[in-house]
Structure 1
Amino acid sequence: MDPMPHVTEGGLIPVASYARTSQDTRHGDARGVRNQHRINERTALDHGCVVVATYTDNARGATKDDRERPAFDHLLADLHRGHAFTAGPIDGVVAVADDRLYRRPDDFIRFMAALTAHPRRVYVGRDGLRDPYTKAGLLEGAASLEGAVAEGRMRSRRVQDWHWSRAMDGLPHSAPRPFGWLEDRQTLHAVESELVRKAIEHRIAGGSMGEVAREWVALGVSGTRGGRPNPQTVTQIITAPRVCGFRANRGVLLIDPETDRPLVGAWQAIVPPEQWVAVCATFSAGSLYMHRGPLSPRLTGRKAGPKYVASGFVRCGAELAEGGVCGQLMGGGKSGSRKSPYNYVCASGRGCGRCAISGPLVEEAIERLLFPGEGPGRVRLPEPIRQRWQSGEMAFEEKRRVISSVFDHFVIKPGRKGSTSWDHSRVVPVWKWADRIKAAELAA
């Protein structure tokens, strides 16, 4: 007979609360996910359960397969493991609606496999407990998936039609204002538009986007979303058809049916069409706005992925002259050293450019944090994970998932000039669920 679920001292089944919103509020206060967790706690108590761990994906969609949901992946990893690192056993999941968890068949399969990885788990919905091991429970979950897929397609079609209609009327994008224009998206921004015009002339004359990005950073220029300029964003800005007044939709230049010429938008142009064509000709197809679409990744014939285990996790910890730390993500790149064949570097175009560290040193420090040996450590991973990691059996992506389940990121302290020894203390971890880990340490 299958064992019964774990229960707390009050006789309640411990469950995990998952919350997700596709968009945050305009104030960026994460109110939607907070409300979902509040409802989940009430729903759990109404059905004999108690929330012992929370997982939150704020402003993250679940319809497209290229959207990352770190908290959802973390939840699945903990369900397979059978417990959260500091919260103890997890014997179920509660959510305000099925579509918060999954909107795609792949995610539904992954979730059900993780939920049923151990016996006697429960799924808690607004209507009560659902047995995920029975045919009825699976059919109910599949029915909700079918409804979510149909709703997602219908919503996507309505949004696409709305944007296309606006484009055909020559109206600007409804997203945050483009760089170079005021909030009305029609009137030129005196300073930004002049920067764009000079950048186009600089590129046509043979200049590099790195030079433009560094100049903009030195001038204190930031993007309309607050980001620091880099060569890729500058390229996207100056190759967007809007700079010469043309209107595009979903990476396609729209044609006026009456004139059979490119559709002209209802906003002021920065340069004439001839200059836009000339600057686009200086880039390869994979860099052009028209081949990428707004906010889309580069098209290179394959999906880009990290090359090094700690890529995307390490941030520059160098102190800035104006106060604070750089905080820029550090990219990985090859070096000429045998001891350190690759390094993580803070690029000067995006960050301060004053911090670099050996790649193997970072990964050795991460391994020491994950598997502290006989001494005390923040976490204690299962022994099979340690054996597979240290024996070399664990695959690259699985190592990254293990890192992601434990750490939020790592802050890299600058090294000392002339030092040839490896200093593992330069790698400062920022733990996931740091508040719970600290509480557990204090209780111990």
Structure 2
Amino acid sequence: MDLIPVASYARTSQDSRHRDERGVRNQHRINERTARDQGCVVVATYTDNARGATKDDRERPEFDRLLADLHRGHAFTAGPLRGVVAVADDRLYRRPEDFIRFMAALTSGPGRVYVGRDGLRDPYTKEGLLQGVESLQGAVAEGKMRSRRVQDWHWSRAMDGLPHSGPRPFGWQEDRQTLHPVEAELVRKAIEDRISGSSVSGIAREWAALGVRGTRGGRPSPQAVTQIMTSPRVCGFRANRGELMMDPDTGGPLVGSWQTIVEPEQWRAVCATFSAGSLYMHRGPLSPRLTEGKTGPKYLATGFLRCGGQVAEGGECGQLMGGSKSARSRKSPYNYICVFGRGCGRCAISGTLVESAIEGLLFPGDGKGPVRLPESMRLRWQSGGMDFEEKRKIMASVFSHIVIRPGKKGCQTWDYSRVVPIWKWADRLRGAEPAA
């Protein structure tokens, strides 16, 4: 009897405190056992770690890739797909829209199966559809109840003047009450300098030069510094869901139980230094925010490129590289750069070179690349018939990310070997080769 080739999908809403992806690994392990018990074999895995499925603005790239492969009936390197296995339905969908998308993809070809802990489910029958609908209703009800409980819990903590839960805020010790002697002084000086006219970028560079790291280990960026300075907690005020909590007895802002870094007047003054339309993010309720909708990426490889420059402590920088206009070259009207402060600041590459290399990786001239994309897709990409968003979705389905190696000073020719792809299925490919 031939085993049915299926895809294993795993998702967690939050990773463990150690960020070791243990939850999704365990789900895949259970999926392997379930598939084997039901006469199936897992040929491809899809993982959305620390990604929720309740809100409509949460992206799940691996879920989208799974649906695309189901519609195609084939995983790029794993062969045909005839079903999906998951530890529970709510790992796949928690919203009606996602349920509809999943069922449409799963039943887009004949003979498909859904493998659950309770056995094989026929998605084409009324009974199989009703089972999916019942699990969806349960997931929606549970999600609403859990969200309400969490909101009430946070509101109650705020009314009691208790600090936020989660990772400790920069400037305070682990108890979230006592000031950190070094970090608190940095925040106090940053607020005073900003009120005096210093730029946020300058403050971020100063922190980076001092070797300052965030509470999660990140390098200081202008956005992070702005969030720290404009947070109401620096002056003792308590906020919840972006709004200052008001004391019902006094009518003024609710004051928390932790030690403060600056006076309320200084906090209001630093918030006032940010004008409407600022590029920086703000958490302080008095800080102006952009009211327009979210802006998408301007450049094709935004979010995919990571700096491969060497850092002092050894290893690669690994920071995301952003796009930036360039007036120096008509051949390269924009570049991707590693921004100092957030990264090492030592790596930059022509945007045109990168996009040419990406096209060569997706559609190699000899047709012998690691992936096999349809010829119709190549023609649409190269003829200009494919829009920007579709190109990015294809890239997201193929690349985990792309490492950019530093260039050689004085080199006048394009060096495609600087563009090193890290494929989604690195464990199933011989190895990632540089673009040719």
For the aligned pair, the TM-score class normalised by the smaller chain equals: over 0.9
Q: Is the CA contact 2:271–2:286 (under 8 Å) kept in the aligned structure 1?
A: no
1:406-417 paired onto structure 2 within 5 Å: 406-417=398-409
Residue range with higher mean Cα deviation, 143-152 or 361-370: 143-152
Cα distance in structure 1, aligned partners of 2:98 and 2:89: 11
The yes-or-no answer on 1:306 pairing with 2:297 is yes
Give the direction of change, closer, same or farther, for the CA distance of 1:36–1:226 in structure 2 (3 Å limit): same
Residue 299 of structure 1 and its aligned partner are, at CA, apart by 3.9
- SS at structure 1 position matched to 2:215: coil
Residue range with higher mean Cα deviation, 401-410 or 268-277: 401-410
Residue 414 of structure 1 and its aligned partner are, at CA, apart by 1.7
The yes-or-no answer on 1:419 pairing with 2:385 is no
1:354-433 paired onto structure 2 within 5 Å: 354-433=346-425
**Partner residue of 2:337?**
345
Q: Is the CA contact 2:422–2:432 (under 8 Å) kept in the aligned structure 1?
A: no
Give the direction of change, closer, same or farther, for the CA distance of 1:311–1:125 in structure 2 (3 Å limit): same
Q: Is the CA contact 1:291–1:299 (under 8 Å) kept in the aligned structure 2?
A: no
**Partner residue of 1:224?**
215
Residue 199 of structure 1 and its aligned partner are, at CA, apart by 0.3
Cα distance in structure 2, aligned partners of 1:292 and 1:12: 61
Residue 37 of structure 1: which of 24, 28, 53 is its match?
28
Residue 187 of structure 2: which of 190, 196, 214 is its match?
196
Residue 291 of structure 1 and its aligned partner are, at CA, apart by 4.9
Residue 83 of structure 1 and its aligned partner are, at CA, apart by 1.3
Return the TM-score normalized by structure 1: 0.93
Which contiguous aligned blocks of 4+ residues in structure 1 show a shift greater than 4 angstroms? Answer: none
Residue 428 of structure 1 and its aligned partner are, at CA, apart by 1.0
Cα distance in structure 2, aligned partners of 1:312 and 1:272: 39
Residue 169 of structure 1 and its aligned partner are, at CA, apart by 0.2
**Partner residue of 1:327?**
318
The yes-or-no answer on 1:290 pairing with 2:284 is yes
Q: Is the CA contact 2:236–2:255 (under 8 Å) kept in the aligned structure 1?
A: yes
C-alpha deviations, 1:187-232, integer Å up to 9, x for none? Answer: 0000000000000000000110101111111111111111111001
Residue 205 of structure 2 aligns with an amino acid whose one-letter code is: R
Cα distance in structure 2, aligned partners of 1:364 and 1:440: 17
Residue 7 of structure 2 aligns with an amino acid whose one-letter code is: A
- SS at structure 1 position matched to 2:430: helix
Return the TM-score normalized by structure 2: 0.94
Residue 430 of structure 1 and its aligned partner are, at CA, apart by 1.0
Cα distance in structure 1, aligned partners of 2:402 and 2:318: 10
Residue 139 of structure 1 and its aligned partner are, at CA, apart by 2.6
Residue 79 of structure 2: which of 83, 88, 99 is its match?
88
Residue 277 of structure 1 and its aligned partner are, at CA, apart by 0.5
Q: Is the CA contact 1:180–1:196 (under 8 Å) kept in the aligned structure 2?
A: yes
Residue 73 of structure 1: which of 60, 64, 68 is its match?
64
Residue 409 of structure 1 and its aligned partner are, at CA, apart by 1.0
Unaligned runs of 5+ in 2: none
- SS at structure 1 position matched to 2:51: coil
Residue 351 of structure 1 aligns with an amino acid whose one-letter code is: G
Give the direction of change, closer, same or farther, for the CA distance of 1:285–1:262 in structure 2 (3 Å limit): farther
Q: Is the CA contact 2:5–2:40 (under 8 Å) kept in the aligned structure 1?
A: yes
C-alpha deviations, 1:60-95, integer Å up to 9, x for none? Answer: 111112222222122112112211122111100011
The yes-or-no answer on 1:166 pairing with 2:142 is no
- SS at structure 2 position matched to 1:181: coil
1:25-174 paired onto structure 2 within 5 Å: 25-174=16-165
Give the direction of change, closer, same or farther, for the CA distance of 1:262–1:285 in structure 2 (3 Å limit): farther
- SS at structure 1 position matched to 2:429: helix
Cα distance in structure 2, aligned partners of 1:411 and 1:142: 43
Q: Is the CA contact 2:271–2:284 (under 8 Å) kept in the aligned structure 1?
A: no
Q: Is the CA contact 2:370–2:429 (under 8 Å) kept in the aligned structure 1?
A: yes
Residue 95 of structure 1 aligns with an amino acid whose one-letter code is: A
Cα distance in structure 2, aligned partners of 1:123 and 1:299: 44
Residue range with higher mean Cα deviation, 299-308 or 266-275: 299-308
The yes-or-no answer on 1:241 pairing with 2:232 is yes
- SS at structure 1 position matched to 2:284: helix
Residue 284 of structure 2 aligns with an amino acid whose one-letter code is: M
The yes-or-no answer on 1:24 pairing with 2:19 is no
Residue 276 of structure 1 and its aligned partner are, at CA, apart by 0.4
Residue 413 of structure 1 and its aligned partner are, at CA, apart by 1.5
C-alpha deviations, 1:211-267, integer Å up to 9, x for none? Answer: 111111111111111111100110000000000000000001011111111110000
Residue 110 of structure 1 and its aligned partner are, at CA, apart by 1.7
- SS at structure 2 position matched to 1:15: strand
Residue 216 of structure 1 aligns with an amino acid whose one-letter code is: W
Residue 342 of structure 1 and its aligned partner are, at CA, apart by 1.2
Residue 439 of structure 1 and its aligned partner are, at CA, apart by 8.4
Give the direction of change, closer, same or farther, for the CA distance of 1:288–1:39 in structure 2 (3 Å limit): closer
C-alpha deviations, 1:94-123, integer Å up to 9, x for none? Answer: 111110001112211221122122222111
Residue 173 of structure 2: which of 163, 182, 200 is its match?
182
Cα distance in structure 2, aligned partners of 1:51 and 1:257: 58
C-alpha deviations, 1:36-77, integer Å up to 9, x for none? Answer: 112212221222211111111122111112222222122112
Residue 27 of structure 1 aligns with an amino acid whose one-letter code is: H
C-alpha deviations, 1:155-186, integer Å up to 9, x for none? Answer: 00000000000000000001111000000000
**Partner residue of 2:204?**
213
Residue 404 of structure 1 aligns with an amino acid whose one-letter code is: A
- Aligned CA RMSD, in angstroms, stands at 1.8
C-alpha deviations, 1:318-359, integer Å up to 9, x for none? Answer: 222442222111100111132111111111131122211111
- SS at structure 2 position matched to 1:50: strand
Unaligned runs of 5+ in 1: 1-9
Residue 95 of structure 2 aligns with an amino acid whose one-letter code is: R
- SS at structure 2 position matched to 1:340: coil
- SS at structure 2 position matched to 1:438: coil
